[in-house]
Amino acid sequence: MLLAAPALADSILDREAPVPATSMWVVGEPPPAWSALKGECVLLELTDPDELVCQGLASRTVEVVRRTRDRHLLPVSVAVGGGADDEKAREFAKRFGVTWSLGVDRKGETFFAFGAPSLPRWYLVAPDGRVMWEGSPGALDDATLSGFLDRARLWRPAEIAKTVRPAADLFVKGKFAAAAKKASEAVAEAAKRRKAGLPVEGEVEKDAALLSDGLASVARIRLAIADRLAKDRWSLEAKDMLEGIAAGFAGTEWEGKAKAALEALAADERAVWEILAATRLREILASVKPASRRTVEKAVDDLGTFLSQFENSRVEERARAALERLRALLPGK
């Protein structure tokens, strides 16, 4: 999921992690593709071997890697910035005990793809390749890391109670409402069997709670993104996201939270106006396809009217850029 709004430009949460672009892996082997993690999750670190702060926090990475060795966490580090040099990276690894995959990004492609605001920067990547946490190494507390690693079990069916596995499979596929319903059914069935004196295989309630925690982690991220979009006046994008949350988490508490946010958006006059503007701009740009002289000329006229009606809207700049592009398509313009 990638929304075309500056409000999301500095965060890749709930999006697929960019593939590290490296000229060489100076330590270890290249990590697997995100689509081939097979239930593993990733601690991806961007660090600058030249920077004193990165050097000072290297021990934190070593400590976490040591403590999570048996918890299906794959560490991957990429050297960026002034220290993105093969020899400097090797020396950094030797000095601080980096024994896992360490790549060198000489061109800065990985750094810019992740939009890291500072270094070092950590990203927790779920088994489906999505970034579920980002921040400074010092900001990641043990509870957050442990919760992330626990939720990764949902991608490893053998570690989940048999009756909860269908719910976990639905969660992995992004069918959150269905996953919640199926987990509730598994818990109810387990309670029924216990009452009847029948055996229950596995820790049904514990694994169902884990799934609920997984749902909450995704929903909270998406609600936070929608809230930020709304505050930055990307109101239509916020509305689209909130409607997606309400539908995707139907029947859960997160549906109610999304609908409450939608009601607040609908009660905000400026937000309603911004939604009207963004919706109209979408309609105009969609009307160009298939492109012909007639459709382009009409869109140019419509954009002129749009700019007079929606001056100072959040999408005004986007509309002006589109107008220039369309004018360039017309002969003699």
Q: pLDDT tens digits for the chain (333 residues)?
A: 233 344 444 579 999 999 999 999 999 999 999 999 999 999 999 999 999 999 999 999 999 999 999 999 999 999 999 999 999 999 999 999 999 999 999 999 999 999 999 999 999 999 999 999 999 999 999 999 999 999 999 999 999 999 999 999 999 999 999 999 999 999 999 999 999 999 999 999 999 999 999 999 999 999 999 999 999 999 999 999 999 999 999 999 999 999 999 999 999 999 999 999 999 999 999 999 988 999 999 999 999 999 999 999 999 999 999 999 999 999 865
Identify the domain boundary among 81, 105, 140.
140
CA angle 312, 318, 321 (to 5 degrees): 115
Classify residue 237: in a domain, yes or no.
yes
Q: What is the pTM of this model?
A: 0.90
- Residues 198 and 96 grouped into a single domain: no
Identify the domain boundary among 140, 173, 203.
140
Structurally, the chain folds into a number of domains equal to: 3
Distance (Å) of CA 38 to CA 173, 254, 319: 14, 29, 44
Domain membership of residue 309 as a residue range: 280-329
- Residues 206 and 98 grouped into a single domain: no
Interacting residues of 99 by C-beta distance below 8 A, sequence separation 6+: 27, 28, 93
Number of Cβ atoms within 10 Å of the Cβ of 270: 11
Beta strands in 80-137 (DSSP E): 101-104, 121-125, 131-135
What is the chain's alpha carbon radius of gyration, rounded to the nearest angstrom? Answer: 24
Which CATH number characterizes residue 77's domain?
3.40.30.10
